[in-house]
């Protein structure tokens, strides 16, 4: 891991606020080198412990994992799985986000509907969405559709809840101001409520991104013939520890890249928020 991934967790990275907490902040290069050194140290300890302290069967070792990754990359077999997982994650994320945002805006601006539906939505939200997996397999089959559905359902509720809260938080003065300037209801929603709720929507998207991946991988672990979830499940059933670790590494890389993409998108859309800090 290097600095950008760690920064992605906080809303406003310390470096951009201009506030330094320590008297002398460690420079970026030194920090990157230290992070690299820590990673190497952990790998060395892992390599050292493997076969001596713990049986290689349980924890494998970095060299085997790297060799496995190289092998999969060289023969191209890993890419089919990556593509399947990324596709299911992205589709699930998009469908869930759009659905959650639309539902959030709609219920946010219609008090009647939100009160009517609230007990049902609460019940559905409390339901562990993973338990829906068998149902999705029945409905959508063993193909990629059932993974998309699982990812989408996980994302939908997270984005919905954040959007709903954001719409409810909109400053009433801004709405009144627009209405006094002859804004129609649609204009109020499009030009005041939605932009104002945008940072809440993004918080929802950021929280939901890893869940899209979780949904896709989990779906693949339950029933599939491709995808990283299938591969990790398959490797485990073959007692292939190096394979399991190799897939986990790829999934972690994927998660980091996806988070980074959401952050970059927010930076572009919410320029006004960053510009004056």
Residues that bind other proteins (CB under 8 A): 171, 173-174, 176-184, 187, 191-192, 195-196, 198, 270, 272-273, 275-276
38, two tokens: 């820590």
- Give the pair of three-digit tokens for residue 183: 């804004």
Q: Judging by beta carbons within 10 Å of its beta carbon (0-12, 13-18, 19+), is residue 249 exposed, middle or buried? A: middle
Which of 32/190 has CB closer to other proteins?
190
> Which residue lies nearer to other proteins by CB, 17 or 125?
17
- Least separation in angstroms between residue 175's CB and other proteins is 9
Shortest reach from residue 2's CB to other proteins, in Å: 31
Measured between alpha carbons, how far is 178 from 221 in angstroms, rounded to an integer? 50
Rounded to an integer, what is the distance from CA 274 to the centroid of its chain?
22
Q: Are 262 and 206 in contact (CB under 8 A)?
A: yes
User: In the chain, helix, strand, coil percent, each to 5?
Assistant: 80, 0, 20
Output 69 or 192, the one with its CB closest to other proteins.
192
CA angle 158, 16, 12 (to 5 degrees): 20
Q: Which is nearer to other proteins, 8 or 198 (CB)?
A: 198
Output the smallest distance, CB 272 to other proteins, in A: 4
Residue nearer to other proteins on the CB measure, 131 or 275? 275
């Amino acid at each position: 891991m290097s600095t950008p991934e760690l920064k992605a967790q906080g809303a406003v990275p310390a470096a951009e606020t201009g506030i330094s907490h320590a008297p002398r902040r460690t420079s970026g290069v030194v920090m990157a080198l230290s992070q690299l050194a820590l990673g190497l140290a952990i790998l060395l300890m892992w390599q050292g412990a493997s076969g001596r302290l713990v049986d290689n069967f349980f924890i494998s070792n970095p060299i085997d994992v790297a060799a496995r990754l190289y092998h999969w990359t060289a023969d191209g077999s890993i890419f089919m799985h990556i593509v399947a997982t990324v596709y299911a994650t992205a589709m699930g994320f998009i469908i869930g986000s759009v659905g959650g945002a639309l539902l959030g805006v709609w219920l946010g601006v219609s008090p009647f509907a939100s009160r009517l539906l609230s007990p049902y939505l609460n019940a559905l939200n409390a339901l562990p969405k993973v338990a829906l997996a068998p149902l999705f397999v029945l409905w959508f089959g063993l193909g990629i559709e059932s993974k998309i559905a699982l990812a989408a359902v996980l994302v939908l509720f997270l984005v919905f809840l954040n959007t709903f809260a954001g719409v409810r938080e909109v400053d009433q003065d801004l709405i009144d101001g627009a209405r006094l300037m002859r804004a129609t209801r649609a204009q109020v929603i499009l030009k005041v409520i939605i932009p104002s709720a945008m940072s809440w929507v993004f918080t929802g998207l950021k929280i939901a991104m890893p869940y899209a991946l979780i949904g896709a991988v989990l779906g693949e672990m339950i029933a599939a013939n491709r995808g990283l979830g299938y591969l990790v499940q398959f490797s485990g059933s073959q007692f292939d520890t190096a394979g399991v670790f190799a897939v986990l590494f790829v999934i972690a890389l994927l998660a980091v890249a996806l988070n980074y993409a959401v952050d970059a998108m927010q930076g572009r859309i919410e320029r006004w928020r960053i510009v004056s800090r």
